Amino acid sequence: MTEKTSLARTRRLRISAALAGTALMLGACNHTNDAITTASIPEDYRLRHPIAVQEANESMVVFVGEGRGGLTAEQRADVMGLAQVWLHEGTGAISADVPVQTPNARAAADSMREIQSLLAAAGVPPHAVTVRNYHPKDPRLLAAIRLSYPRLSATAGPCGVWPEDIGPSIKNKSYFENRSYYNFGCANQRNLAAMVDNPADLVQPRSETPPYTARRTALFEKYRKGTATAITYPDADKAKLSDTGK
């Protein structure tokens, strides 16, 4: 074997060793990234799909015709209902968008004055109503009065996100580790957020109402005397529709 052949062979071995070392390092990097990405997804669905409490707009549309000023009976009921809900859950002023420079602009102005009277009668202070004028971009649409206000809202999601397969796959480590898939529990969290009456209840409990002192005193007096504390209703049997079981 000549000296040139030996040098060439040594050079090839060094290049092969360097390539093998580089491949090992790259493989180790990929494995580390996969472990970090998998570990970053919480196993608890409440942490993976948390319910966020934030402000959202609640709105109502009052349609006004060209030849009629004022509200219908159904519209008056809707406005009174909005006022009652605002007193319970509103977190900001009521914004009223009234159309101008439209065929029904005068009727809308008359209807807006009636809306303000209804809101005031329901207990909404005048400074809590902000009136703004707007001109619709599409003249073919019937311009309407829009009432909106901010309120607390609970949201979760979005659902239907599938970053990986849920079946057996070499890329799906959660399947072999017996972990729940990413979208698990999202629909339940989203439905719970939509059904809750007061989103603040998801963060903290409500304060207890004071007890009925008079009734509690009467029960304690019976207990002190050794008599039965159960409540008896003399007319309870008169309300029964059937004598089955007697």
User: What is residue 41's predicted lDDT score, i.e. its pLDDT?
Assistant: 64
Q: Is residue 186, in this structure, part of any structural domain at all?
A: no
Q: How many CB atoms lie within 10 A of CB 184?
A: 15
Examine residue 14 and state whether it is found in any structural domain, yes or no.
no
Q: What pTM, to 2 d.p., does this model score?
A: 0.59
User: 227 in a domain, yes or no?
Assistant: no
Range of the domain at 133: 52-155
Report if residue 43 sits inside a domain: no
Query: Is residue 128 domain-resident?
Result: yes
Q: What is the CATH number of the domain that holds 77?
A: 3.30.1330.60
Query: How confident is the model at residue 34, as a pLDDT?
Result: 45
Residue 244 lies in a domain: no
- Number of separate domains in the chain: 1
Tens place of pLDDT per residue across the chain (246 aa): 555 566 566 666 666 665 666 655 555 544 444 443 444 567 888 888 999 999 989 999 999 988 877 899 999 999 999 999 999 889 999 999 999 999 889 999 999 999 999 999 999 999 999 999 999 888 777 889 999 999 999 999 889 888 877 777 777 666 667 778 888 899 999 999 989 888 988 888 888 888 888 888 888 888 888 888 887 777 766 666 666 665
Q: How far apart are CA 88 and CA 90, in angstroms?
A: 6
Q: Would you say residue 56 lies in a domain? A: yes
Asked whether residue 57 is assigned to any structural domain, the reply reads yes
